[in-house]
Amino acid sequence: MTTKKLTSREFNQDTGGAKKATQDGPVYITDRGEPSHVLLTFADYLRLAANRPSIIDLLAQPQGIEDVELNAPVSTESAKPAEFN
């Protein structure tokens, strides 16, 4: 798998060529010399997305929960009794 780098201008001038280049691997698009976007085939995107756990899966995992510390501030300065007028 090879990668190709295009400037935003090059991408705008030849989007068809950029799309064809994704058959060999991801195409990095730069903006002012810095990478800003990645163009992938839809099949590559699906392959990457399939390996990501959903937020539901992450929240359902109980392992390691005992190591989480919660340091909630204990202050009654801002607490006031409710007024029912």
Q: Which domains does the chain have, with CATH numbers?
A: 4-54 (3.40.1620.10)
Residue 49 has a pLDDT of 84
Residue 71 above 80 pLDDT? no
Instruction: Dump the DSSP string for 23-52.
Output: TSS-EEEEETTEEEEEE--HHHHHHHHHTS
Residue 29 has a pLDDT of 96
Average pLDDT score over the chain:
84
Question: Which pTM does this prediction carry?
Answer: 0.58
CA angle 14–18–22, rounded 5-degree value? 170
Residues 54-61 have a mean pLDDT of 76
Buried b (16+ CB within 10 A) or exposed e, 27-62: bebbeeeeeeeebeeeebeeeeeeeeeeeeeeeeee
Find tokens 């060999």 and name the residue: 24
